[in-house]
Amino acid sequence: MRSDQFILLEDEYGAHNYKPLDVVLERGQGVWVWDVDGNRYMDCLSAYSAVNQGHCHPKIMEALARQAERLTLTSRAFRNDQLGPLYKELCELTNSHKVLPMNSGAEAVETAIKAVRKWGYQVKGVPGDKAEIIVCRNNFHGRTITIVSFSTDPVSTAGFGPFTPGFRIIEFGDAEALEAAVTENTVAFLVEPIQGEAGVIIPPDGYLKDVRRICTENNVVLILDEIQTGLGRTGKLLAEQHENIEADLTLIGKALSGGFYPVSAVLSNTEVLGVLKPGEHGSTFGGNPLACAVARAALKVLVEEDLIENAADIGEYFKAGLAKIDNPKIREVRGRGLLLAVEFTPDAGGARRYCERLKDAGLLCKETHETIIRFAPPLVITREEVNWALERIASVLSG
């Protein structure tokens, strides 16, 4: 079948909750993917940073295949021989004390919300059902009802009420706003170190340090959602390291499996996760041996292949190349590591049409909001591949 036939099938039988570019992919390797018509593209989205290790990494593939032959799912009613080793490796790598494994990123966020509410009642002494969690405008934390309850994007919320109470919204990047919003019922501050879906919004220098101090002073749990920024994407293992802080709860997902399988986790360096007792939270697939084996291999690849350092080096080089593109309609080039964005002026006619033309030139990118294109290729990208990309990006974006 050709592309147009696959597209017809999707459109006829699938829910239309996405508006994908019309490219039907069938194969991937490293930074490259191929469509059913035989065209090759560079993947500059990496499944929203889930394939940091590159498409179909052979070592993760091998771990997946080997584990799939042995044991895939036990449920947590029984133990398995992959879970303990994953916990230990994750804790050692991220300097954490405890891990709670889930599947999707949204589930990790939900887990953190449950844990900090319980912590608020049992440890902090917040009166029953009064717990407040502070979040930021333009956040993206997932798509469940509770999570969209504190989204400020009307497309995410319109028509989906009634919503979960208990959230308070402040401006991102404004530490004073956090200080002012904290009450005795505040149990947590949930924030992305860099707002990814909002368009790679980087907070002012020192923001996370101030946030850390305010949370500590007020006995508020700091939850960093590193589902997109974590695991090497910004040139550090976790984006919190850019400001030398440690969150109380860290949420990871996406690249935790190198894109093979949905695996997420809540990492805790306080006793917050300790408030959860048997039966109070769980997931049939969370922590299954296949997921654990895949995650162990994905973490190993990240470290052994120096992908974090590569993201830092190549990211700087890529960003410098983007900044040289001469187009008065480019308002700003920004980013950290390999989480980069080009923002256009409102009169540029939207980022989508550039994405369409980049696709024709062999690069798959996705606009975020109307005016921003994110460039976030797999972290295995080489300097030669960046040069290849920059040549094409410059030619498309200059026009």
Ligand X SMILES: *Cc1c(COP(=O)(O)O)cnc(C)c1O
Q: Residue 231 — left, alpha, or beta (φ > 0 → left; ψ -120 to 50 → alpha)?
A: left
Contact 136, 181 (CB under 8 A): no
To the query of whether residue 11 is one of the catalytic residues in this protein, the response is no
CB of 233 to ligand X, least distance (A): 10
Neighbouring-strand partners of residue 267 = 99, 250
Ranges of H-type helices in the chain: 3-13, 46-49, 58-70, 83-94, 105-119, 145-148, 154-157, 175-181, 207-217, 289-304, 307-323, 352-360, 383-398
Q: Do 255 and 287 form a contact (C-beta atoms < 8 A)?
A: no
Closer Cβ to ligand X, 254 or 296, answer by number:
254
* 67 or 111: CB nearest ligand X: 111
At its nearest, how many Å lie between ligand X and the CB of residue 50? 8
Smallest separation, CB 260 to ligand X (Å): 14
* Catalytic residue of the set 43, 210, 225, 248: 225
* Residue of this chain nearest to ligand X (CB atom): 105
Q: Which one of the listed residues 98, 118, 124, 254 is annotated catalytic?
A: 254
Q: 48 vs 260, which CB is nearer to ligand X?
A: 48
| CA 251 to each of CA 25, 127, 178, 268, 383: distance values in angstroms, whole numbers, following the listed order | 29, 26, 20, 9, 30
Closest CB to ligand X among residues 191, 293? 191
User: Is 22 annotated as catalytic?
Assistant: no
Q: How far is the CB of 107 from ligand X (least distance, A)?
A: 7
The CA–CA distances, whole Å, from 133 to 117, 144, 163, 178, 194 equal: 8, 16, 14, 11, 19
**Which letter, b or e, does each residue of 126-147 get, where b requires 16 or more Cβ atoms within 10 Å of its Cβ?**
beeeebbbbbbbbbbbbeeebb
CB of 104 to ligand X, least distance (A): 4
Is 306 catalytic? The answer is no
Distance CA 264, CA 101 (A): 6
Contacts of 263 (CB under 8 A, 6+ apart): 101, 103, 253, 256, 257, 291, 292, 294, 295
Closest distance of CB 264 from ligand X, Å: 6
Nearest CB to ligand X, comparing residues 132 and 225: 225
Contacts to ligand X by CB under 6 A:
48, 104-106, 109, 140-142, 192, 196-197, 225, 227-228, 253
Nearer to ligand X, 67 or 228 (CB): 228
Which of the following is catalytic: 43, 118, 140, 167?
A: 140
Active site residues: 140, 225, 254
